[in-house]
Structure 1
Amino acid sequence: MAFQVENVDWMRGKNRLTQLRERVFVLEWRLPREAEFDEHDVSAFHVLISNEHNEPIATGRLTQDGEIGRIAVRRAYRSSHLYQMLFSALVGIAKFKGIAVVQVNCDLDSVDYHSKLGFTPAGPVFMEAGIPRQRMACPVTQFIVPDVLHMH
């Protein structure tokens, strides 16, 4: 399968990014739509991966302060290879933009797992869409793609 990886800004990719994120987060995971889209979308760096039919199949974003998030991958395409492509693109943007530390928000069950990958807790536990989460930080030069099971 041939995939196309694009760096897109919100204004150029909004329709495709919104469609994919709604499909994964709102329809599949049943998260509230209002929790999915925020003020960071406009200024964030977005990666969009499409399949051979130019259908969006994966996306993620990197905020200006280094938070990697909004990782949405259609169920049929969830594989280590695709996640590697997505995270490599996001980390590449971070390095290019001079962002030294990247952050991810993970479920509390994944804190120990992320710690073993070199992440450290950054701040207190917080609630996101009714789910307790922990922000974890890692130097961009030491970033390792988490296992697919810890992403979805």
Structure 2
Amino acid sequence: MTFRVENVDWLRGKDRLAKLREHVFVLEWRLPREAEFDEHDATAFHILIVDNEDNPIATGRLTQSGEIGRIAVKRKFRTLPVYRQLFTALVTLAKQHNVPLVHVSCDLDSVNYHQKLGFTPNGPVFMEAGIPRQKMACSVNQFTLPDVTHMH
């Protein structure tokens, strides 16, 4: 299956972005809707990945300050190649907009994975919605994706 990556701004893509994020975060993960949307949406750069029937399957955003977040991927598309496309597109956006450093906040169990991409822990572990999390940072020039060509 082939996917298309789109750069979308909040005004043009709000309906599709919000619907996908609500599906993943509010319906599936039961997070409060108010916590899902914030003032950064309007100024952030958004990536939307759609399938060959133009259905949104994944999204993520890059804020002006370099924070990668709001990663929402429909359950059946949670594969390394999809995450790879999403992160590659977000880091490419950072380079295009001269954002030298990207940041993520991740669950503790994915710290090792992010370190393989070039991220290093940044600050203490913190709690968010009852989940221990870690902020991590990476220079866009040090970001690397492990080879996943042997996986499907």
Give the TM-score, by structure 2 length.
0.88
Give the deviation of 1:141 after TM superposition.
Answer: 1.2
Letter in 2 for 1:66: G
1:30 aligns with 2:68: no
2-structure distance, mates of 1:89, 1:105: 18
Give the deviation of 1:110 after TM superposition.
Answer: 2.8
1:69 aligns with 2:69: yes
Distance 1:84 1:112, change over 3 A: closer
Gaps of 5+ in 1: 147-152
2-structure distance, mates of 1:119, 1:41: 24
Give the deviation of 1:25 after TM superposition.
Answer: 0.8
2-structure distance, mates of 1:13, 1:129: 27
Letter in 1 for 2:75: R
Task: Report the structure, 1 or 2, having the larger helix content.
Answer: 1
Query: Where does structure 1 differ by over 6 angstroms across 4 or more consecutive aligned residues?
Result: none
Give the deviation of 1:120 after TM superposition.
Answer: 2.1
Give the TM-score, by structure 1 length.
0.88
Give the deviation of 1:145 after TM superposition.
Answer: 4.3
- Percent identity over the alignment? 69
2-structure distance, mates of 1:16, 1:140: 28
- Aligned Cα RMSD in Å? 2.0
Name the counterpart of 2:9: 9
1-structure distance, mates of 2:145, 2:71: 12
1-structure distance, mates of 2:44, 2:38: 10
Name the counterpart of 2:123: 123
Name the counterpart of 2:51: 51
Name the counterpart of 1:139: 139
Give the deviation of 1:82 after TM superposition.
Answer: 1.2
Aligned to 1:118, what secondary structure does the other structure show? coil
Aligned to 2:106, what secondary structure does the other structure show? strand
Give the deviation of 1:123 after TM superposition.
Answer: 2.9
Gaps of 5+ in 2: 147-152
Q: How many residues matched?
A: 148
1-structure distance, mates of 2:96, 2:66: 12
